[in-house]
Amino acid sequence: MQPPQPRPEDYSLKETTPCLGGFMAAGDKRTSTYDLVEQMPYLYVRAVKAKDLRAKDGSGSCDPSVEIKLGNYRCTTRQFEKNTNPEWNQIFAFPKECIQSSYIEITVKDKDDIIGRVIFDLSEVPKRVPPDSPLAPEWYRLEGRKEGRVGELMLAVWMGSQADEAFPEAWHADAATVPSDGLASIRSKVYLTPKLWYLRVNVIEAQDLVPSDKCRYPEVYVKATLGNQSLRTRISASKSVNPMWNEDLMFVAAEPFEEHLILSVEDRIAPNKDEVLGKACIPLQNVDRRPDHRPVHSRWCNLEKHVAGDGEQKKKDVKFSSRIHLRISLDGGYHVLDESAHYSSDLRATEKQLWKPSIGVLELGILNAQGLLAMKTKDGHGTTDSYCVAKYGHKWVRTRTIIDSFSPKWNEQYTWDVYDPCTVITVGVFDNCHLQGEKSKGNKDSRIGKVRIRLSTLESGRVYTHSYPLIILLPTGVKKMGEVQLAVRFTCYSLVNMMQLYSQPLLPKMHYVYPLSVTQLDVLRLQATHMVSTKLSRAEPPLRKEVVEYMLDVDSHMWSMRKSKANFFRIMKVLTPLVGAAQWFDKICEWKNPLTTVLIHLLFIILVMFPELILPTVSLYLFLIGVWFYRWRPRQPPHMDTRLSHAETSNPDEFDEEFDTFPTSRAHDVVRMRYDRLRSIAGRVQTVVGDLATQGERLQSLLNWRDPRATAIFVTFCLIAAVVLYLVPFRMVVLIAGLYVLRHPRFRCHGLPSAPLNFFRRLPAKTDSLL
């Protein structure tokens, strides 16, 4: 008996029907703005402060803390030392679905001794639904077992939901095992991307340089440094003490401008040996900002032998008379790309005065995840502490971390203003590896998967509720890590304004008037992603570097055999309709279906006799095709496609190559094998490129007399064609040519190429001149 075959992994997108809306309980019709998530009732306890606490040992002082006991749940506030009037102001949240008790007991303790307690019947706890104001805390008398009144405790206890303002800062019952220094890393937060600028440094010239060796022509260049970015000009061709460059250097700068631009004029004395002729330090706060392509005024900066770094004093022991001529500007007319341009979430210029009004709002409900795999081992069993990160525009959001659950429920809702529908929102799921505070320092949060949703594929006003597969690539292959359930709604304010955007440039005007090269954009994007990850990693709780880089696809430009194959087959799929049309036309010419061929003849004659019908006929044909395909329009938003990505068909070595470091860290034999494979593929690409060059050179050789007989034939043919076309009506020429192409097979030479094709293939190219 053969063993059962493993079931193929399901990577499809599934439509779901969650119970969305703001209903707190049966019959309760109060609603909240959280209409894209399932309502999760919570019991909130806010321990504010206590007063007049009585010490158990009679010393007059105590070390108080508050313990909250609800069924199997037990949580404690921080402990104060020798304080009879402590203030905690801590909030605790207990999910209603896990409550297994009819009362809640709140006890004030002096270390391990009980001072007094307050007990609440859960059936008497009030309900609160935003936008109601927060429930005011009240003083409750603490009753001891024997002493009677032992002090007072200020509390607020209410039933709410995740829409409550206290939810993000509350201590949740599932986080009982998280130490106090790790609590900050599990809370939900909103982050903002720092405002990024392109800094353009136009190095024009320098004057009165003083090289140490006056007997040689100086080879001078300018080195510019901004933080960890460093660029240099070419060596001046003038080779004098008054060199000229007129060269642009581009940097990425982030507000607030904490770093200065350092310019260093250096002389290449020998290979790997440079002499600093002078330096200048320019604070970015003093740099002009330009919203368009109009140049700013240039400036002269004095060069000094020594320039102080941050926090240092300038050394003015040597007066220096050299100076450098610059034009520096913060170009706010560009959009600083920190994401791939193919799935960017924001396309606005840096300068806020260039922004157009928003066209709508995007709402995202992060509901839950199902079937997550174990990401780490704890106490001998697998566990996952998952959280979500969503990024759109300048706003990043992070949900709270659900502790030790393979089916976490977040039910958190967020909104963004939309300025362009042709943008993409990215949602990633991660495993939190920093729950132990200082003990987990140095760990990296593990990626579980991510989802991209293009807004232009969504209908306005419709709520999309789907379960998206979480797919990641590993060195061993593709793997499904679970599913995440999202609710998405894109609401458009004005359909006319949104339609008008489709005729506008995708990027700001400066990208077209004063374009940057592809190489510049790639380098600047890497610098921008580094700045964003550095800034967000310094927040509290930090959005860590590995999370930001995964969301921004920092390594998307790296070589991958899998991506190359996927892109090749994408091109083939795009060309398939053209190939199909050519094959269909070939069948028409071969009279495979005589009736169809006759109808094509009639249509061709009508269009030749009435050419004004050509464009209306083509437009009508395209309209009918669009209406016909409307029946099969996509009903679901796009998702990660493993077949399109060739993730299922790639072999393990290709995945291992994709995850290799740069430069490589693999063994020499593996690198040699991959290099030989790459040479083989490159050889085929080289052949195709050579064939394309050959066809282009043959076209050029029609008139360049490289083959005098062929050029003479072509020139003579052109003269005869000119005379014929001058004497014969153009419609007649087109009609005769068309009927000749569509002639019956018995008038053709089967299997032989046509005379024009034979003539073209005999034309010379420059392949015989290649070494």
* Cβ proximity of 324 and 205 under 8 Å: yes
pLDDT band at 29 (very low <50, low <70, confident <90, very high): very low
* Cβ proximity of 387 and 541 under 8 Å: no
44: helix, coil or strand? Answer: strand
Mean pLDDT score, 594-600? 88
Q: Residue 146's pLDDT is what?
A: 67
Does residue 616 have a pLDDT over 70? Answer: yes
Does residue 718 have a pLDDT over 60? Answer: yes
Does residue 370 have a pLDDT over 90? Answer: yes
Per cent of the chain over pLDDT 70 is 93
Task: Kindly report the backbone phi and psi dihedral angles of residue 764, in degrees, each rounded to the nearest multiple of 5, phi listed first.
Answer: -80, 155
**197 vs 335: CA distance, rounded Å:** 8
**98 vs 78: CA distance, rounded Å:** 24
43: helix, coil or strand? Answer: strand
Beta strands 463-474; 360-370: pairing state: unpaired
Q: Residue 23's pLDDT is what?
A: 41
Strand order of the sheet with strand 14-15?
14-15, 463-474, 477-492, 360-370, 409-418
**19 vs 39: CA distance, rounded Å:** 8
**388 vs 395: CA distance, rounded Å:** 14
Q: What is the DSSP string of 693-761?
A: HHHHHHHHTTTS-SSHHHHHHHHHHHHHHHHHHHHS-HHHHHHHHHHHHT--GGGS-TT---HHHHHHH
- Using CA atoms in the order 631, 633, 635, 637, what is the torsion angle rounded to 10 degrees? 180
* Cβ proximity of 31 and 22 under 8 Å: yes
* Identity of residue 239: K
Q: Residue 31's pLDDT is what?
A: 42
743: number of Cβ within 10 Å:
12
Mean pLDDT of the chain: 86
* Cβ proximity of 465 and 487 under 8 Å: yes
Least reliable range by pLDDT among 95-109, 315-329, 719-733: 315-329
Does residue 763 have a pLDDT over 70? Answer: yes
Does residue 156 have a pLDDT over 60? Answer: yes
Mean pLDDT score, 725-743? 84
**195 vs 259: CA distance, rounded Å:** 15
pLDDT digits (tens, 9 = 90+) for 676-697: 888 888 888 888 888 999 999 9
Strand order of the sheet with strand 386-392?
189-192, 395-398, 386-392, 424-431, 446-454
Query: Which tokens hold the place of 53?
Result: 């606490």
* Residue indicated by tokens 């679970």: 482
pLDDT band at 310 (very low <50, low <70, confident <90, very high): very low
Half-sphere exposure of 613 (CA within 13 A, CB side): 8
**229 vs 525: CA distance, rounded Å:** 12
pLDDT digits (tens, 9 = 90+) for 639-685: 888 888 888 888 888 888 888 888 888 888 888 898 888 888 888 88
* Cβ proximity of 116 and 144 under 8 Å: yes
Residues forming beta bridges with residue 190, ordered by sequence position? 397
SS3 content of the chain, % helix, strand, coil (to 5): 30, 30, 40
Mean pLDDT score, 622-634? 89
pLDDT digits (tens, 9 = 90+) for 43-67: 999 999 988 887 766 666 788 889 8
Output the furthest CA–CA distance in the chain (Å, rounded): 124
Does residue 131 have a pLDDT over 80? Answer: no
pLDDT digits (tens, 9 = 90+) for 163-205: 888 888 888 877 777 777 677 788 889 999 999 999 999 999 9
Which range has the top average pLDDT, 162-171, 313-322, 567-576? 567-576
Exposed, middle or buried, 680 (CB in 10 Å: 0-12/13-18/19+)?
exposed
**432 vs 446: CA distance, rounded Å:** 7
